[in-house]
């Protein structure tokens, strides 16, 4: 094989490889963490305030997974806690869901494993008590 044919062959293989990479990158579905990220960015100072409020508590929310259920333990300081729990699955945005904060009389809330597909989940809790807003976040691996 001559030098000219070898160089042309290398260029053709290179161009085909780049074309394949462009095609695959255009057809790959990439889920955003949130669809309204611009609005959330504008309100980020509120988020910082919620995190600071949470850090100032003596007792914080605990999120535990024991293989069967996710147990969320709220601070025993107050009984009138309201808010929302968001479950985000980074690998599949269609699995994301939200539920209300509804602690029982023992200040605990159970989420059944059946509600969650296997894999990594981000659990974010936006909650309020005594007129102050709080935010807690943790990761849970469902197996």
Query: How many structural domains comprise the chain?
Result: 2
Which range among 4-8, 73-77, 121-125 shows the weakest confidence by mean pLDDT?
73-77
- Same domain? For 25 and 43 the reply is no
Provide the CATH number for the domain around residue 112.
2.60.40.10
pLDDT confidence of residue 125: 93
Q: What is the pLDDT of residues 64-118, one digit of tens each?
A: 888 888 899 988 766 688 899 999 988 888 888 999 998 888 888 898 888 888 9
C-alpha–C-alpha distance, residues 142 and 62, integer Å: 17
Q: Which residues form the domain of 19?
A: 1-29
pLDDT confidence of residue 87: 92
- CA-closest candidate to residue 119, choices 140, 138, 137: 140
The structure's pTM equals: 0.71
C-alpha–C-alpha distance, residues 128 and 61, integer Å: 12
- Same domain? For 56 and 85 the reply is yes
- Same domain? For 71 and 17 the reply is no
pLDDT confidence of residue 120: 92
- CA-closest candidate to residue 70, choices 86, 47, 50, 90: 86
- Same domain? For 20 and 82 the reply is no
SS3 96: coil
- Same domain? For 25 and 47 the reply is no
Q: What is the pLDDT of residues 14-67, one digit of tens each?
A: 999 999 999 998 888 776 666 677 777 777 888 888 999 888 888 888 988 888
């Amino acid at each position: 094989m001559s030098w000219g044919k070898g160089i042309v062959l290398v260029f053709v293989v290179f161009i085909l490889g780049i074309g394949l990479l462009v095609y695959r990158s255009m057809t790959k579905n990439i889920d955003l963490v949130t669809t309204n990220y611009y609005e959330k960015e504008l309100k980020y100072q509120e988020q910082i305030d919620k995190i600071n409020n949470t850090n100032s508590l003596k007792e914080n929310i605990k999120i535990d997974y024991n293989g069967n259920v996710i147990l969320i333990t709220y601070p025993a300081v107050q009984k009138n806690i309201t808010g929302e729990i968001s479950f985000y699955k980074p690998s599949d945005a269609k699995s994301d869901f939200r539920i209300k904060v509804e602690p029982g009389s023992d200040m605990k809330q159970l989420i059944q494993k059946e509600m969650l597909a296997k894999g990594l989940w981000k659990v974010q809790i936006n909650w309020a008590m005594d007129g102050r807003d709080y935010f807690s976040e943790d990761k849970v691996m469902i197996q």
